[in-house]
Chain A
Amino acid sequence: MNINPAMISRLFIKDWQLIQRYMLMYIGLGALSIFLMSVKNGTAYYTGVVMLITVLIGASAHVVFVSIVIERKEHQMSFIMGLPINVTDYTLSKLLGGLVAYLLCWTPIVLTLLLVIGFSDMPNGMIPMALITALEILLATTLLLCVAIVFEQEAVTIVVMVALNLLFNLFLFSVGQMPEINMHITSDTPVFNATVFGIIGVELLSILLLLVATTYYKSRKACFF
């Protein structure tokens, strides 16, 4: 598998320059959400939670659509295909680049969230659940990136995005119902038990598998068309 790291990083920088303004905006909105969560008011707290999830999911969709779907739809992909890259270079630049771009937004928001939970009046027992939830959104972002790259179709990407949002609610409900997690959410100290580590491990492993499988699948293609 021939790859050109220099070209991959140039394509990543190019994509980042196209979305950085929006990512900074999402970071700002994320900070605002966390601030609302920390206010001692039930309405503000729930507004903050909903806003934070919306921001993380919105940023995810933004990265995928701007860097992959719209680039293809608006024929900028033809411009990129004319550059000295092969399919694997392109796939890696979109997969890793998209993920890194998203992480540049996701990481400060999630770290801030964990710190605010840790140092505010919110129960520290929320930390494992917050981390599991944030990682689920990261996993969904990775899956959406992979779908956009593999299927190369806007409609499929939109359908998968909608399905992932529906599954997110189901995921939150299911995890929240687990006694090993549920019983510690309101405790003063975070409890990282085997269930929490298991879920986090599955999430991280799934991200890795998706990245490897997509790269392998695309690298078997000699050509863009």
Chain B
Amino acid sequence: MNDIAIQLNDVSKAFKYFALKNVDLTLPTGQIMGFVGANGAGKSTTIRIIMGLMQADQGKVNVLGRTLPYEQANLKQEVGYSSEEMRLYGAKNLGWHMQFIKSIYPSWDDNYAKALLNRFDLNTEQKIKQFSKGQHIKAQLLLVLARKPKLLVLDEPTTGLDPVARQEVMNELALILQDEQRTVLFSSHNTADVEKISDQITFIDRGRIIDSNDKETFLENWRRINIELPSDHEMLPMGHVIHVEQQGRIASMVSNQFTPSILQACQQQNIRVNSVDNMTLEEIFLTSVMHRRQGEQK
């Protein structure tokens, strides 16, 4: 068994107004990776390249041991792919779609499909055009999950859903992903969704991967340190501090590699530390993006 499910090396793809640049990405087998980026950051382009639907201008793409895009047909036998833009046939019902997918994938599991039908509260007789958006996404998930893929690639599955439907889909997805060990690549611009189900997190912005790590490392490494300075002079740069907001003597600094040595350095400069706070994934993502963009401007 291959230990690496997805491996992208130095992958680039240029369009007229956007370019994916030198993307390196590794997803070990059995892990769930949240792929986070703003709209237009390059998530869908990366996923299309991973699925073999789009050819990179340069770089190597290997998924489940297959070289892409050349082995895309064989690869897609083992991958469940669902995207936000994907639509089923409105004039047909879910049962028709299930039969169609079952005829293609020998790995289709009828019992699992029935269990998912109950869990998602879907009716096989109902036409797809009568489904709500949430039901439509659940139907898509059912069709990819019941074929028991080795790798699940979900491109923004919760985008456009109202908060209730999003919560429903995410809860069900979280439950399903606990069922078995699966390898999942899950893209979203919603950090709360990603934080809920991911082991690994990768941030992408303006076509570049800006950070990639496991969720615990992200949450442990990033801290917001609220401080009081001895004077209102501008604060001196400090190691591992990537962002500072200062108003007079009160300041807040963000570290992406927090260690107690930062607090010791504060003490040495007569800086009073008021609090050290954990950061949410959204705060981490936003700070990462802003830090990166400021670096590009300099």
Binding site for B on A (CB under 8 A): 2, 4, 7, 10, 14, 17-18, 74-76, 78-79, 81-86, 89, 222-225
Q: Is the pair B76, A84 in contact by a Cβ cutoff of 8 Å?
A: yes
Count chain B residues whose beta carbon lies closer than 8 angstroms to a beta carbon of A: 33
| Binary CB contact string for chain B from 59 to 87 against chain A (1 if under 8 A, 0 otherwise) | 00000000001101111110111110111
In the complex, given contacts A17-B96, A75-B86, what are 11 additional A-B residue pairs having Cβ atoms less than 8 angstroms apart? A10-B100, A18-B92, A74-B87, A76-B87, A79-B88, A81-B53, A82-B51, A82-B83, A83-B104, A222-B55, A225-B53
Within 8 A of A (CB), among B78-113: 79-83, 85-92, 96, 100, 103-104
C-alpha gap A150/B174 in the complex (Å): 41
- Cross-chain pairs A/B with CB under 8 angstroms, 29 sampled: A4-B73, A7-B73, A7-B104, A10-B103, A14-B100, A17-B96, A18-B89, A18-B91, A78-B83, A78-B86, A78-B87, A79-B86, A79-B88, A81-B51, A82-B51, A82-B76, A82-B79, A82-B82, A84-B74, A84-B76, A84-B104, A85-B73, A86-B73, A89-B73, A222-B69, A223-B54, A223-B69, A224-B53, A224-B54
Closest to B105 in A: A84
Q: Is the pair B69, A76 in contact by a Cβ cutoff of 8 Å?
A: no
Q: Is the pair B73, A222 in contact by a Cβ cutoff of 8 Å?
A: no
Output the least CB separation between B91 and chain A (Å). 7
C-alpha gap A14/B81 in the complex (Å): 19
**Residues in chain B near residue A2, CB distance under 8 A:** 73
For the complex of A and B, the 10 pairs showing the least CB-CB separation, nearest first, are A82-B81, A78-B86, A225-B54, A84-B76, A84-B77, A75-B87, A223-B55, A86-B73, A222-B69, A224-B53
Instruction: For A10, give its contact among B54, B89, B96, B104 (CB under 8 Å).
Output: B104
C-alpha gap A85/B82 in the complex (Å): 15
Instruction: For B76, give its contact among A14, A83, A223, A225 (CB under 8 Å).
Output: A83
Q: Is the pair A82, B55 in contact by a Cβ cutoff of 8 Å?
A: no
Output the least CB separation between B176 and chain A (Å). 18
Closest to B56 in A: A223
**Residues in chain A near residue B53, CB distance under 8 A:** 81, 223-225
Instruction: For A85, give its contact among B70, B76, B79, B88 (CB under 8 Å).
Output: B76
Q: Is the pair A75, B73 in contact by a Cβ cutoff of 8 Å?
A: no
**Residues in chain A near residue B54, CB distance under 8 A:** 223-225
Q: A10-B104, A223-B52, A223-B54 are in contact. Are A74 and B69 (CB under 8 A)?
A: no
**Residues in chain A near residue B76, CB distance under 8 A:** 82-85
**Residues in chain A near residue B81, CB distance under 8 A:** 82
Q: Is the pair A74, B86 in contact by a Cβ cutoff of 8 Å?
A: no
C-alpha gap A78/B53 in the complex (Å): 10
Closest to B74 in A: A84
**Residues in chain B near residue A74, CB distance under 8 A:** 87, 90
Instruction: For B85, give its contact among A17, A78, A84, A85 (CB under 8 Å).
Output: A78
**Residues in chain B near residue A85, CB distance under 8 A:** 73, 76
**Residues in chain B near residue A83, CB distance under 8 A:** 76, 104
C-alpha gap A79/B85 in the complex (Å): 9
Question: Residue B48 at the A interface, CB < 8 A?
Answer: yes
Within 8 A of A (CB), among B138-166: 140, 144
C-alpha gap A79/B54 in the complex (Å): 15
